[in-house]
Amino acid sequence: MAEIFDDSRLDDETALATYDQTLRHLAEAGARVRREAGEAAEAIAAAVAGALGEARPRAVVAAGPDSRLLRSVLEPWCPVPFVAWPGPSLPGWAGGLDLVVVLAPEGSDTGAASAVAEGVRRGCRVVVACPPRSLVAEHAVGRDCTVLPCSSGDQLAAAVVMLEFLDQVDLGPDSDPESVAQALDDVAIACSPFRDLAVNPAKMLAIALADSTPLVWGGSVLAARAARRVAESIRRSSGRTALAGDAEHLLPVLAAARATDLFADPFDDSDEGARQPALVILDDGAEEPSIREQRGRLTAVAQERGVRVERLSAEAGNGVARYAELLSTGTYAAAYLGVGLAHG
């Protein structure tokens, strides 16, 4: 029997209570960013005033399992060679002229701890965003090591703290923690479980995806990362397939979509496994010619095959804030999809 999405559950307090922990965590995201940025401000200032701010490094290595988020922000911007190294080690050439940055929001990851220990052993300048009393922090001991304290376990909040440091030493773009926090607060208000589905963008997106296989696409590096995270959230919340990828990966799926049958019985579950795809475009305002071209091709093929197209737009002040806005809205929608399907 096919799962039935019941949109009335999205405004039902009892149904929403099953996702209270997830929704509460999303609503508190802005507060976590502000708290982490405030608590790390003194450590950031000390690092900038000390040896870490004196000379530009030969290269920046973002190490550890959470390095990909930093890569998404820094790769297009960093004025020195930059590499993301998600494994438990460092590149063979990394040494005393290089800066190693590590995100370890939980502080217990052995891969991150190993990368920090190796950076210390090689004499690298090392900056770690992690809980002060944690496995990773225990390895960040040395003259050129700095721990930026983070205690919430939130990857985005830890990344904002690290990006604030890199901004102040001219190795990263303007991150402005307050802009990120405000963007998350704005999403929490717009997508609140107490806001009616008729004016709630996350609830409306959940309804649009209820009977579809979501294909999530973002054109810029950060939007593409947000797309992957949103697809992960949809899979986790609904137990259904959701795909994220580059345009060339999604175009064949769109092209193979069945033409919409206006006379099909919406309650016929005999072909339950063949849901029509729905294209979700995450738009962070990037307008490079290649992004416009890919977005145009995806939209054209979707319209040709009768595939629904949904767009989430972000208008926050900087790239990281727009990433946070897209990710938070998409994650809210994933939660509401789970609510409507009675998952959780």
38 burial (CB, 10 Å; 0-12 / 13-18 / 19+) is exposed
- Residue 295 domain-assigned? yes
Considering the domain architecture, whether residues 248 and 332 belong to the same structural domain is answered as yes
Q: Encode pLDDT of 243-299 as tens digits.
A: 999 999 999 999 999 866 555 555 555 444 568 999 999 999 998 999 999 999 999
| pLDDT over 60 at 46, yes or no | yes
Cα separation of 334 and 235, whole Å? Answer: 8
| Helix (H), strand (E) at residue 217 | strand 212-218
Among 174, 206, 228, where does a domain finish? 174
Residue 96 CB coordination number (10 Å): 11
In a domain? residue 217: yes
Give the residue from 119, 145, 174 where a domain finishes.
174
Kindly report the length of the chain. Answer: 344
User: What is the extent of the structural domain holding 310?
Assistant: 7-19+193-340
185 lies in some domain: no
CATH number at residue 242: 3.40.50.10490
Rounded CA separation 335/257 (Å): 26
Instruction: Establish if 181 belongs to a structural domain.
Output: no
Residue 271, Cβ density class (10 Å: 0-12 exposed, 13-18 middle, ≥19 buried): exposed
First to last CA, the chain: 19
Same domain, 141 and 200: no
Q: Is the domain of 218 the same as that of 91?
A: no
Count Cβ neighbours within 10 Å for each residue of 125-146 and write b for 16 or more, e otherwise.
Answer: bbbbbbbeebbbbebbebebbb
With tokens 């960040």, the residue in question is 140
- pLDDT for 263 equals 56
Mark which of 174, 208, 234 sits at the end of a domain.
174
How many structural domains does the chain have? 2
Q: Answer yes or no: is pLDDT of 51 > 80.
A: no
202-211: per-residue pLDDT in tens?
A: 999 999 999 9
